[in-house]
Structure 1
Amino acid sequence: MTIKDIARLSGYSIGTVSRVINQHPDVSEAARKKILEIIAQENFQPNSNAKHLKQSHSTPITIIVKGSSNLFLETLMEKAEQYLAQSGETANVVFVNERDNEVRQAVQICTERNPKGIIFLGGALENFRSDFGSINVPCVLISGWAKDLGYKNLSSFTTNDYDGARQAAELLTDNGHRKFLIIGGYRTKETDQVSSQRLNGFLSVLKEKNIPFDQNTQYVESMLTMEDGYEKTLPALQRLPDTTAVFGLSDLVAVGIMRAAHDLGKYIPEDLSVVGYDGISYTGYTVPRLTTIRQNIDRLVSEGVDDLLFRISYNKAASHKQIPADPVLHESIRDLSR
């Protein structure tokens, strides 16, 4: 059962349910009684850790954003802050560099600030695997898959990036493309990392269609930023001038790819097709508009934050959910099949 389910059964808003669950005073007695009755019917028991946190003067929820130049995660952050505010909660926001250890930062925050819960926006699973064990407060990882880590206080809500990247590959191959570059992310042994899921999903379609792809030359690692996407695409396109399509593992990388192509005298989509991933608002304003795979930001945030707020106050098992992505067809793919 989620906060949304309780809201539906009680007839009260999600914000009201959240304020009751987190013991805020600005709720009518009638609403509080009805909502608590429904919670009791589901046999949820108060979280003893929540009582301890209240007694020890815990600070607001902390949001840790993985990457200081990631517009997708910044959009998640803004949505999370808005959703928390609707539930009567505030948040402290901390940005960490894409290559830094966000979990060690969380351990330090727990020691210094004693937050009632932590929202991780993005994260490297190797960091959670090695360092998360000392964190005891309820946490949720949004845009990352933590189910296999087995931590009882860590939920995760993410996009099905493997299937999303397969959609990108299907779009390009169905339009006759056979010579690809993939830009973005880093090689890792963690196959459930976001970049690995996107890379492997795209490559699975190429394999099924017997389209050759050499990872040593056609996959280029980069940070998920416009700047790095641009810098890494320039030499790649010069090295492989016959490339007809590029898949950027984020929309920001794809915007960098588009600029690099322009600076090399290539027109999009006439000379080069480009597909991004995330569905940030920028994709509707590039020239041409960027075709992308869109993540469902509203569901990621609402379900992730609901889960965290519930577990702060009640004993509830960690949840893990993958949410589908969908393609947004704009103007950056040329049909070569005609």
Structure 2
Amino acid sequence: MNPTIKDVAKHANVSIATVSRIVNGLPGYSEETKKKVQQSIEALGYQPNAIARGLINKRTQTIGVLFPEVSGMLSSEVLEGVENAAHDGGFSVIVCNTTSSGKRTVKYLRLLQEKRVDGIIFASEDVKEEYYKIFEEMQVPVVLVSTASTHYNLPFVRVNDYEGAFKATEYLIQRGHTQIGMIGGSHHDPIAGVPRMQGFQEALQKHGLPFSENHVTTNEGYRFQNGKESLPLLLKKLPNMTALFAASDEMAIGAMSAAHQLGIKVPEELSIIGYDNLKIAEMCYPALTTVSQPLKDMGQTAGEILVNLIKGEQKEAESRYMPFTIIERQSVSALNDK
């Protein structure tokens, strides 16, 4: 027989009302009493009824998370952090895979509205007007992660992509490279595509190096195949290229694969730096030098902000730029050492 709230109260030697307040996060008890009740809950294996709890605090204890690609390596690391924060706050997570499709995103937002989720984490896509209208209808807090809104005042947790790209390019320049190309995202992507290309361009110009459209190939995605297909095109435009900045690790590893097929040695003949520091970056050969985004920490921070907003512990949330670092491995060589 499952233990009841009455059993917990008896075991902890407190009133049923006290147990109820602690389970539902309401005030009116000491830390010592809270600890004693939590120990009794654990000892008895008591599971609070989620529906009954929701009737008291008017919450479903669930949050919705929308990713354009749940199976992607970047998404999985961010999601791990979100789930950690949600679990610590007593929330469950509903994950939605939007595949960057506007219609599917709207469908999932309507589903989350029906499920009466308490808040939303929205990742890696620009917030369209139709999405924002649904956010307003739902009247729940929304936190963006690995993205930002170009039109709406929504809190975000992300890395400064312009600065990350600038530092990655400068890293190559400091190692003696002057003929540097970039495999980039899309000119229609204001979140990551445009800032990373701007950072690349301005780093070259700051150091007096030439820049033209021949220095960049653009893509609609950031996947392995985009990088693999882009390298031969970039080499045709920039045949003397000695170093490459790729706007994602998957692109960088795709470029490394293409270089191998073309008989180009990495890093002896072509140095490559990526962006993200996915787990696969240290598994490839040579191991990839890259700009490290703290993806799990970004997810956890976004989750913690959302939980605090839902519980009323914060009235407003400030956006946060997370720190990035360059992780040095074996895919970049220094021309000035040769």
Give TM class, smaller chain: 0.7 to 0.9
Following TM superposition, by how much is the alpha carbon of 1:228 offset from its aligned partner in structure 2, in angstroms?
2.2
For 1:103 and 1:308, the matched residues in 2 are separated by 20
For 1:53 and 1:82, the matched residues in 2 are separated by 25
For 1:245 and 1:251, the matched residues in 2 are separated by 15
User: Which one-letter code corresponds to 2:148 in the other structure?
Assistant: W
Asked if structure 2 preserves the Cα contact closer than 8 Å seen for 1:102 and 1:123, the reply is no
Residue 306 (1) aligns with residue 308 (2): no
User: 1:334 and 1:108, CA in 2 relative to 1: closer, same or farther beyond 3 A?
Assistant: same
Report what 1:289 is aligned to: 287
Q: Max radius of gyration: which structure?
A: 2
Following TM superposition, by how much is the alpha carbon of 1:250 offset from its aligned partner in structure 2, in angstroms?
0.9
Residue 143 (1) aligns with residue 146 (2): yes
Following TM superposition, by how much is the alpha carbon of 1:235 offset from its aligned partner in structure 2, in angstroms?
3.0
User: 1:259 and 1:101, CA in 2 relative to 1: closer, same or farther beyond 3 A?
Assistant: farther
String of CA shifts for 1:259-279, please: whole Å, max 9, x gaps.
Answer: 111111111001111000111
Report what 1:175 is aligned to: 175
For 1:99 and 1:274, the matched residues in 2 are separated by 31
Report what 2:15 is aligned to: none
Following TM superposition, by how much is the alpha carbon of 1:229 offset from its aligned partner in structure 2, in angstroms?
1.8
For 2:258 and 2:71, the matched residues in 1 are separated by 19
Following TM superposition, by how much is the alpha carbon of 1:99 offset from its aligned partner in structure 2, in angstroms?
5.5
Report what 2:117 is aligned to: 115
Report what 1:329 is aligned to: 328
Report what 2:7 is aligned to: none
For 1:102 and 1:187, the matched residues in 2 are separated by 23
Asked if structure 2 preserves the Cα contact closer than 8 Å seen for 1:53 and 1:116, the reply is no
Q: Which runs of 5+ in 1 are unaligned?
A: 1-19, 35-50
**Partner SS for 1:83:** helix
User: Of residues 86, 89, 99 in structure 1, which corresponds to 2:88?
Assistant: 86
Asked if structure 1 preserves the Cα contact closer than 8 Å seen for 2:79 and 2:296, the reply is no
User: 1:102 and 1:159, CA in 2 relative to 1: closer, same or farther beyond 3 A?
Assistant: farther
Greater length-normalized contact order (CA 8 Å, ≥ 6 residues apart): 1
**Partner SS for 1:198:** helix
CA RMSD, 1 decimal: 3.1
Aligned residues: 296
For 2:268 and 2:292, the matched residues in 1 are separated by 24
User: Which one-letter code corresponds to 2:185 in the other structure?
Assistant: G
For 1:301 and 1:81, the matched residues in 2 are separated by 8
Q: Which runs of 5+ in 2 are unaligned?
A: 1-20, 35-53
Superposed, 1:184-223 pairs within 5 Å as 184-188=184-188, 190=190, 193-215=191-213, 218-223=216-221
Report what 1:17 is aligned to: none
Following TM superposition, by how much is the alpha carbon of 1:299 offset from its aligned partner in structure 2, in angstroms?
3.2
User: Which one-letter code corresponds to 1:297 in the other structure?
Assistant: L
State TM-score, norm by structure 1.
0.78
**Partner SS for 2:182:** strand
For 2:207 and 2:227, the matched residues in 1 are separated by 27
Report what 2:106 is aligned to: 104
Following TM superposition, by how much is the alpha carbon of 1:317 offset from its aligned partner in structure 2, in angstroms?
1.2
Asked if structure 1 preserves the Cα contact closer than 8 Å seen for 2:67 and 2:122, the reply is yes
Following TM superposition, by how much is the alpha carbon of 1:22 offset from its aligned partner in structure 2, in angstroms?
9.3
User: 1:109 and 1:119, CA in 2 relative to 1: closer, same or farther beyond 3 A?
Assistant: same
For 1:21 and 1:279, the matched residues in 2 are separated by 41
For 2:101 and 2:211, the matched residues in 1 are separated by 27
Report what 2:24 is aligned to: 23
For 2:104 and 2:141, the matched residues in 1 are separated by 16
User: Of residues 64, 67, 85 in structure 2, which corresponds to 1:65?
Assistant: 67
For 2:144 and 2:106, the matched residues in 1 are separated by 15
User: Which one-letter code corresponds to 1:330 in the other structure?
Assistant: R
Asked if structure 2 preserves the Cα contact closer than 8 Å seen for 1:64 and 1:102, the reply is no
User: 1:21 and 1:258, CA in 2 relative to 1: closer, same or farther beyond 3 A?
Assistant: farther
String of CA shifts for 1:282-318, please: whole Å, max 9, x gaps.
Answer: 1111111100010123431232111100111216113
For 1:101 and 1:210, the matched residues in 2 are separated by 45
String of CA shifts for 1:220-248, please: whole Å, max 9, x gaps.
Answer: 22411112221232333345332211111
Name the % identity.
Answer: 26
Following TM superposition, by how much is the alpha carbon of 1:187 offset from its aligned partner in structure 2, in angstroms?
0.3
Following TM superposition, by how much is the alpha carbon of 1:87 offset from its aligned partner in structure 2, in angstroms?
2.5
**Partner SS for 1:246:** strand
Superposed, 1:123-134 pairs within 5 Å as 123-125=125-127, 127=128, 129=129, 131-134=131-134
Asked if structure 1 preserves the Cα contact closer than 8 Å seen for 2:293 and 2:325, the reply is yes
State TM-score, norm by structure 2.
0.78
User: 1:24 and 1:226, CA in 2 relative to 1: closer, same or farther beyond 3 A?
Assistant: farther
Report what 2:318 is aligned to: 319
For 1:320 and 1:109, the matched residues in 2 are separated by 27
For 1:220 and 1:188, the matched residues in 2 are separated by 10
Following TM superposition, by how much is the alpha carbon of 1:215 offset from its aligned partner in structure 2, in angstroms?
2.4
**Partner SS for 2:335:** coil
Following TM superposition, by how much is the alpha carbon of 1:252 offset from its aligned partner in structure 2, in angstroms?
1.1
Superposed, 1:239-254 pairs within 5 Å as 239-254=237-252
